[in-house]
Structure 1
Amino acid sequence: MRRYARTLVAVALATTVMAGTAGWASGTTQQALTGPPPGAAAWRADHVLGRELPDPERTTPAEVNRFFLGLTAAQQQTLVVRHPLVVGNLDGVPVALRYRANARSLRAAHDPRYAHLTEAEAGAEARPGAKAEAGDRGRDSGSAAAGDRQILAFDPRGRGQVAEVFGDLSTARHVAVVVPGSDIDAGTFDRTSDVYGTPAGMAKALHAKTGRGSAVVAWAGYTTPVGVGVDAATGSLAAAGADRLTRFADGLAADGVPAPAVFCHSYGSVVCGLAAHRLRATDLVVLGSPGMRADTVADLHTTARVWAAKDATDWIDNVPHVEVAGIGHGPDPTGPGFGARRVPAHDAHGHTGYFAPGTDSLRAFASIARGEAR
């Protein structure tokens, strides 16, 4: 009876949204960031090495990696200096070079003396007001510029996107990637409130639990929904995010990084569900999931092991787990008919408590990340 009631709610919701009468604020609707890294036009036009540079939009991550490995150290540094936004965000570029380029971009975002470094790249592609927005994103991500943080991606466009590594990707035997859900961007990536609801907080906790020999990437590399609205109930942002996530994983593979276990929180599990059939991963772990846009694990068409966690106090349990007319994301992955391996979450609390230290869910996540769980 409860399932039937939820289906009726979903049908009513889909009807009102499709009719344009839903009471959700249209001002929260987001435009997905797609395409090549910022500065691609200037990169394509640059013949400083006496040859064409790989097209950021058409070249595969494996081809990008081969190109950079064929350069001298001086040539690599030339590209880091001239095009930090491209080098820092281009999947397939060796990880160490991406760190170096993003450190430079972050300095440019915070110090007016370096402003020309990013303006020269992005200016030709910027829409009105984009430079001001980029500056805002740089200020929002001020903590990311501090110290020796390993920033694997920093894209200041729109609300801003960031990826950070905890641990050493060059030596890690086990790697994990955390994919966050709604309301995450450069400004909320590592906020001090609700720490374990942020990608940085989740990744730090997981890395601390998995220990030496592991690395965890906090990946806020797609445009997330804002609030509870049409974006959160539909799959368009997730589809764009799935493309970016699969290319990101291909870039890690091209640089010799082991296939990761991917942890997908909330709306991030929709991203992972749409990416599953082409995502290079050992495990897919969804937590607080509204659905994966699949009816069963078999429908994901993945060789990765699929795990699911949901605690009894998570409000996501009140979301109708159906999909009607493109609204909703399908069955609950923790349901018995879905076929995922169940992750214990008895002492997790709420929608963002799964990575809290001392919880059974975090212990299980660490076991999965280390390849020990069965």
Structure 2
Amino acid sequence: MERRAAGKRRRRGAALLAAVAVLGTAGWAAGAEEQPVTAPPPGSAAWRADTADGKHPPSPGAEPADVAAYFARLRDGGARLVHRHPLVAGNLDGAPPRLRYRANRMALRAERARQHARAKENDRAPTERTKARERAAHYGRLGTAGRQILAFDPRGRGQVAEVLGDLGRADRVAVLVPGADTDLARLEGHGADRYARPLGAAEALRAEMRRAAPGVRTAVVAWVGYTTPSGLGPDAATGRLAEAGAPRLTRFLDGLAAAGAPADAVFCHSYGSVVCGLAAHGTDAFRDLVVYGSPGVRADTAGELGSARLWVARSRGDWIGRVPHVDVGGLGHGADPTDRGFGARVVDTSGAEGHAGYLVPGTASLRNFASIALGRYTDVTCESGCRHG
């Protein structure tokens, strides 16, 4: 027995050494330990103390279905509450989307003004003033007419969710969950970086859905609603931030359903797939779960992730495939979801390059993702395990 225990320790040690070796050669870099944002938005106490039509509003932690029912009963639809408490109302899962858009435009204007004021304070360091000017400019862009910001929280590195399309009339709704090193400032990219960022990826997915099914009304949400690992260091190799982010994703998805726009498919990139794997245990608010560039989903088989269909994509050039799939002492994210024994549908990714090229126009992965989001499963091409039922 002692020999078996020693062998087990050696295997675990080898796995850890392999993980360290691969992380050192696969492009991973040391990152600062992040503190996840989990508390309700600033102003929540004043929100709870307020009244509308003689009733106290629901707590920011209330069930999204109860939030939706509350707003449906208000004579003014919640307009007064939005005016008095925009930051809370704009992040309230279950509230009507158009109300949240209006609230977040107000919150963005207020935060932009605050950052402008900080940039003019001469007692601040030049770097602080520069950052304040950059934030003010970014908040100004997010708050422009026509943009539909479904969530906005300036705390920490910032969180945001943006909607493309009409959630109220959509026949099919998809949600994108990003991986490490993503935050409010990295919602959108430009040039070659465009499709690696959440908004560009969402734009590409919706454009492909509309190309494939012109008569179907679609909406895609870029959700940057959790604290992601900064860099690809220890935070990315453990589940600490995913465990904090999963309940937030669950609430967000339940909020979409309560507002009449349930997500048909959720697409999760890299570390985001760890968040989605944990969230899948807590909600049945979506039919299809797609993980791509995934280091693991904190499960041993697809059957552990609830009733959603699980689709997996990994390009041949993605360095994530060289990361050992271990779960030892909190390090690693478990089994490889692309393994045949895991039980997922592994889709074709021809044309995709690297770790972030899955939603580039012209790739098989983008075409397949659009077919999944549309529920057109027979159009999906797979490398293995492609069951269309």
Coarse TM-score class (shorter-chain normalised): 0.7 to 0.9
How far apart, in 2, do the equivalents of 1:258 and 1:61 lie? 12
Letter in 2 for 1:329: H
- State yes or no: 1:70 paired with 2:73: yes
- Alignment of 1:296 with 2:295, yes or no, is no
Structure 2 residue matching 1:172: 3-state secondary structure: coil
Instruction: Report the equivalent of 1:190.
Output: 188
Deviation string, structure 1 residues 80-126 (Cα, Å, up to 9, x no partner): 110000110010111110011011111222235999xxxxxxxxxxx
- Structure 2 residue aligned with 1:171, among 169, 172, 180? 169
2:292 is aligned, of 287, 292, 295, to 287
Structure 1 residue identity aligned to 2:304: D
Matched, 1:54 2:58: yes
- Residue 143 of structure 1: which of 141, 153, 156 is its match? 141
TM-fit CA distance, 1:7: 6.7
1:47 positional shift: 3.5
Q: Which stretches in structure 1 are left out of the alignment for 5+ residues?
A: 17-22, 116-131
How far 1:46 moved relative to its partner? 2.3
Q: Which residue of 2 aligns with 1:93?
A: 95
- Separation in 2, partners of 1:142, 1:307: 37
Aligned to 1:368, which of 363, 368, 372?
Answer: 372
Residues in 1 aligned to 2:268 and 2:362: alpha-carbon distance in whole angstroms = 20
Q: Which amino acid aligns with 2:158?
A: G
> In structure 2, what is the Cα distance between the partners aligned to 1:210 and 1:15?
40
Match for residue 346 of structure 1? 350
Who is 1:222 aligned against? 226
Normalised by the length of structure 2, the TM-score is 0.83
**Which one-letter code corresponds to 2:354 in the other structure?**
G
Structure 1 distance, partners of 2:266, 2:228, is 17
What amino acid sits opposite 1:318 in the alignment?
R
Q: What is residue 209 of structure 1 aligned with on the other side?
A: 208
Kept in 2: contact 1:108–1:114 (CA 8 A): no
Residues 137 and 186, structure 1, Cα contact 8 Å, conserved in 2: no
Report the secondary structure of 2:332's partner residue.
Answer: coil
Partner SS state of residue 329, structure 2 = coil
Cα pair 2:19 2:323 within 8 Å, conserved = no
Partner of 1:241: 245
* Partner Cα distance (1:76, 1:113) in 2: 28
Which residue of 1 is the match for residue 281 of structure 2?
Answer: 277
For these two proteins, the number of residue pairs brought into alignment is 346
Report deviation, 1:246. Answer: 0.4
In structure 1, the residue matched to 2:4 is none
Counterpart of 1:128 in structure 2 is none
**1: CA distance, partners of 2:11 / 2:107:** 47
TM-score by length of 1: 0.86
- Secondary structure of 1:330's match? coil
Specify whether residues 6 and 330 from structure 1 end up closer, same or farther in structure 2 by C-alpha distance, changes over 3 A only. farther
The change in CA–CA distance for 1:335 and 1:182 in structure 2 (over 3 A counts) is same
RMSD across aligned positions (CA): 2.7
- Is 1:305 aligned to 2:309, yes or no? yes
Distance 1:43 1:229, change over 3 A: same
Q: Do the aligned partners of residues 6 and 164 (structure 1) sit closer, same or farther apart at CA in structure 2, a change above 3 Å counting?
A: farther
Task: Write the distance in 2 (CA, Å) between the matches of 1:336 and 1:14.
Answer: 22
Do the aligned residues in 2 keep the contact of 1:309 with 1:361 (CA within 8 Å)? yes
- The separation in 1 between residues aligned to 2:325 and 2:271, in whole angstroms, is 13
Where 2:222 maps in the other structure, the secondary structure is: strand
Judge conservation of contact 2:53–2:74 (CA < 8 Å) in 1: no
Could you tell me how far 1:322 is from its partner in structure 2? 1.3
SS of the equivalent of 1:285 reads: strand
Question: 1: distance between equivalents of 2:322 and 2:225?
Answer: 28
After superposing the two structures, state which structure 1 stretch, 161-170 or 331-340, moved more. Answer: 331-340
Q: Compared with structure 1, are the counterparts of its residues 229 and 160 closer, same or farther at alpha carbon in structure 2 (3 Å cutoff)?
A: same
C-alpha spacing 1:8/1:114, structure 2 compared with 1 (3 Å): closer
Q: In 2 relative to 1, CA 108–205 (structure 1 residues): closer, same or farther, beyond 3 Å?
A: same
For the residues of structure 2 that align with 1:362 and 1:264, how far apart are their CA atoms? 13
What's the offset of the Cα at 1:255? Answer: 0.9
Q: Does 1:154 align with 2:158?
A: no
Structure 1 position 257 matched with structure 2 position 261: yes
- Call closer, same or farther: CA 1:24–1:287 in 2, change over 3 Å: closer
The aligned residue for residue 111 of structure 1 is 113
> Any conservation in 1 of the 2:87–2:153 contact (CA below 8 Å)?
yes
Contact 1:152 1:162 in 2 (8 A): yes
C-alpha distance in 2 between matches for 1:107 and 1:170: 25
Alpha carbons of 1:349 and 1:9: their partners in 2 closer, same or farther (altered >3 Å)? Answer: farther
Query: 5+ unaligned residues in a row in structure 2: which ranges?
Result: 1-9, 22-27, 118-129, 211-215, 378-387
Cα distance in structure 2, aligned partners of 1:249 and 1:364: 22
CA distance in 1, matches of 2:375, 2:11: 37
